[in-house]
């Protein structure tokens, strides 16, 4: 009788829940975005793929495979043991270095589009930089947890973390992958702010980051060209301003409700990277201002749900900073990408997370979502 009484007195929230039911807001939004990705990848690549490869479904099939792998990764990582993750976090920094170094090995690293960012695995090519971003966020969350009593110190709060960021960012820049280096740096700044590092230290870090990025831009002719095309795209319509102008034409053509799904003209050999970096422009052209706002709102939902999860973990530095970092890692690149497409930010190669074509990006984003769900599950189980 006592056993029966104990059983029925157990609070409902202590019962284990299926991983995908942990946060319906996040899971539903992610599944909608992944499904929408398949639709838009087909819309942006169907004609081009038929013309160049003889298969209208070439890119969609590859994206669908990545989606299946990513959803499986999301499920598996939603069951990960958070305490074990914290224990291995110190070693992830060395794993990041090793993965990025492998891309530079002749015969193993694959070069495309002027960048050596991929590892050739035979049937598929994998971009380690995407996985490194997730691993580094886990590492830096562990770093702050191990030094939480000294976060008020300049050395532990900002100097050491940003030295570690600089090492990883430096390897990314060698590839070169300026976008990933910028994302890691910005997300780390956001985590520092959330974790409680003093504002003046964060300001110093932000100024240093801005100076480093400015120097890299100044010393690189092609980056300087991108800045100039951002400032004055119509001064070189057929040259450095071409991509941004075509993007703005696509966004403007869509007006309020769009020209109709599948009816974009800019994707027909006019807009470069229409299925990856500039897929938001095609969304805006085909679905209009309303479609663009709905897509933007989807990422804001993920931001809201992710920060809500992190707010419940405020008493644990590792879990709290990790939740903040994972949320920013998904949402920040989306906001940066939309800023680039609409001409608010300088052009930089960066796939729209969960939507743009790119298997490595999709899988690692879904992995990050799985970790967020694992953090919520861990909180519920120990509440």
C-alpha separations of 146 from 35, 198, 267, 308, 337 in Å:
40, 17, 49, 24, 33
Angle, vertex CA 366, rays to CA 359 and CA 206, nearest 5: 95
pLDDT, average across residues 94-110: 82
pLDDT score of 276: 87
How large a percentage of the chain has pLDDT more than 90?
43
Residue 24 to residue 261: CA distance in whole angstroms: 28
Say yes or no: 129 and 204 in one domain.
Answer: yes
Q: Same structural domain for residues 215 and 249?
A: no
At residue 31, the pLDDT reads 95
Q: Which has the closest alpha carbon to 96: 126, 135, 144, 138?
A: 135
Computed over every residue of the chain, the mean pLDDT equals: 84
Alpha helices in the chain (DSSP H): 2-8, 24-53, 58-77, 82-88, 92-102, 128-146, 154, 160-174, 178-195, 199-219, 221-231, 242-254, 279-311, 317-341, 359-382
Is residue 140 over pLDDT 90?
Answer: yes
3-class DSSP state of 89: helix
- H or E segment to which residue 112 belongs: strand 109-112
Is 13 inside any structural domain? no
Residue 5 scores a pLDDT above 50: no
Structure tokens at 229: 């095309």
Tell me what pLDDT residue 383 has: 67
Q: Give mean pLDDT, residues 94-103.
A: 89
Comparing 5-14, 50-59, 78-87, 148-157, which segment has the lowest mean pLDDT?
5-14
The predicted structure's pLDDT at residue 17 = 55
In the structure, what pLDDT confidence band is assigned to residue 21 with cuts at 50, 70 and 90? low
Residue 254's domain spans which residues?
A: 19-79+236-383
380 against 231, higher pLDDT: 380
Q: Same structural domain for residues 58 and 185?
A: no
Task: Tell whether 174 and 42 lie within a shared domain.
Answer: no
Residue 115 shares a structural domain with residue 65: no
Spatial separation of the C-alpha atoms in residues 263 and 284, rounded to whole Å:
12
The total number of structural domains in the chain stands at 2
Look-up: residue for tokens 């590839």?
175
User: Do the Cβ atoms of 95 and 141 come closer than 8 Å?
Assistant: no
Give the tens place of pLDDT for each residue, 218-228.
766 666 676 76
Split at pLDDT 50, 70, 90, the class of 73 is very high
- What pLDDT does residue 93 have? 93
pLDDT at 328 over 90: yes
Asked if 352 and 374 sit in the same domain, the reply is yes
Task: Give the confidence band of 3 by pLDDT, cuts at 50, 70, 90.
Answer: very low
With respect to residue 2, please indicate whether it lies within any of the assigned structural domains: no
Identify whether residues 376 and 272 lie together within a single domain.
yes
Q: Is residue 225 part of a domain?
A: no
Indicate whether 6 belongs to any domain. no
Domain end: 170, 187, 219, which one?
A: 219
State residue 229's pLDDT score.
67
User: For residue 20, is pLDDT > 70?
Assistant: no
Q: What pLDDT score does 70 carry?
A: 94
Whether 208 and 261 share a structural domain: no
Q: Are 97 and 73 found together in one domain?
A: no
Contact between residue 240 and residue 226 where contact means Cβ atoms under 8 Å apart: yes
Q: Which of these ranges, 70-79, 108-117, 200-209, 299-308, has the smallest mean pLDDT?
A: 108-117
pLDDT (0 to 100) of residue 222: 64
Q: Is residue 5 part of a domain?
A: no
Please determine, for residue 13, whether its predicted confidence score (pLDDT) is greater than 60: no
Indicate the DSSP class of residue 157. I
| pLDDT confidence of residue 7 | 34
Is residue 12 included in any domain, yes or no? no
Residues 206 and 241 in one domain: no
Instruction: Please tell me which residue, 342 or 220, carries the higher pLDDT value.
Output: 342
In this prediction, residue 200 has a pLDDT band, given cuts at 50, 70 and 90, of: confident
- Among 170, 190, 219, give the residue marking a domain's end: 219
pLDDT tens digits, one per residue of 237-282: 777 778 888 889 999 998 999 999 988 888 887 888 888 889 999 9
In this predicted model, which residue has the larger pLDDT, 15 or 159? 159
Highest mean pLDDT among 47-56, 217-226, 356-365: 356-365
Residue 6: pLDDT band (50, 70, 90) is very low
Same domain, residue pair 263 and 300 = yes
Q: Is residue 253 part of a domain?
A: yes
> Which of 165, 185, 219 corresponds to the end of one domain?
219
- Model pLDDT for residues 274-313, shown as the tens digit of each residue: 888 899 999 999 999 999 999 999 999 999 999 999 999 9
Residue 88's nearest CA partner among 139, 163, 123, 49 is: 139
Pair 244, 381 in one domain:
yes
Query: Residue 141 domain-assigned?
Result: yes
Q: Taking Cα atoms as reference points, which of 128, 104, 208, 103 lies closest to residue 161?
A: 208
Quote the pTM value. Answer: 0.87
As a whole number, mean pLDDT of residues 124-149 equals 88
């Amino acid at each position: 009788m006592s056993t029966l009484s104990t059983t029925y007195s157990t609070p409902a929230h202590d019962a284990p829940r299926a991983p995908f039911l942990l946060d319906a807001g996040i899971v539903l939004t992610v599944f909608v975005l992944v499904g929408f990705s398949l639709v838009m990848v087909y819309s942006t690549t169907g004609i081009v793929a038929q013309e160049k490869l003889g298969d209208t479904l070439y890119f969609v099939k590859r994206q669908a495979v990545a989606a299946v792998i990513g959803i499986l990764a999301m499920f598996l990582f939603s069951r990960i043991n958070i305490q074990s993750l914290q224990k291995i976090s110190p070693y992830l920094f060395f794993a990041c270095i090793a993965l990025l170094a492998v891309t530079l090995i002749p015969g193993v690293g694959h070069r495309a589009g002027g960048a050596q960012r991929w590892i050739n695995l035979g049937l598929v090519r994998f971009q380690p930089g995407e996985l490194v971003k997730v691993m580094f966020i886990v590492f830096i969350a562990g770093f702050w947890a191990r030094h939480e009593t000294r976060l008020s110190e300049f050395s532990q709060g900002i100097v050491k973390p940003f030295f570690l960021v600089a090492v990883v960012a430096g390897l990314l820049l060698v590839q070169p992958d300026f976008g990933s280096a910028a994302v890691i740096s910005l997300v780390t700044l956001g985590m520092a702010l959330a974790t409680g590092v003093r504002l003046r230290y964060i300001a110093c870090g932000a100024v240093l980051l801005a100076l480093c990025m400015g120097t890299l831009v100044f010393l690189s002719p092609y980056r300087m060209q991108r800045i100039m095309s951002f400032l004055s795209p119509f001064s070189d319509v057929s040259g450095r301003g071409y991509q941004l102008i075509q993007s703005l034409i696509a966004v403007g053509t869509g007006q309020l409700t769009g020209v109709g799904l599948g009816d974009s003209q800019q994707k027909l050999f006019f807009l470069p990277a229409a299925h990856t970096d500039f897929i938001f422009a095609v969304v805006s052209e085909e679905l209009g201002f309303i479609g663009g706002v709905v897509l933007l709102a989807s990422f804001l939902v993920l931001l809201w749900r992710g920060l809500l999860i992190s707010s419940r973990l405020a008493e644990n530095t590792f879990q709290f900073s990790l939740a903040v970092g994972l949320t920013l890692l998904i949402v920040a690149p989306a906001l940066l990408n939309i800023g680039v497409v609409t001409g608010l930010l300088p052009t930089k190669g960066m796939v729209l997370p969960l939507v743009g074509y790119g298997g490595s990006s999709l899988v690692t984003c879904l992995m990050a979502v799985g970790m967020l769900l694992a953090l919520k599950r861990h909180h519920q189980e120990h509440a």
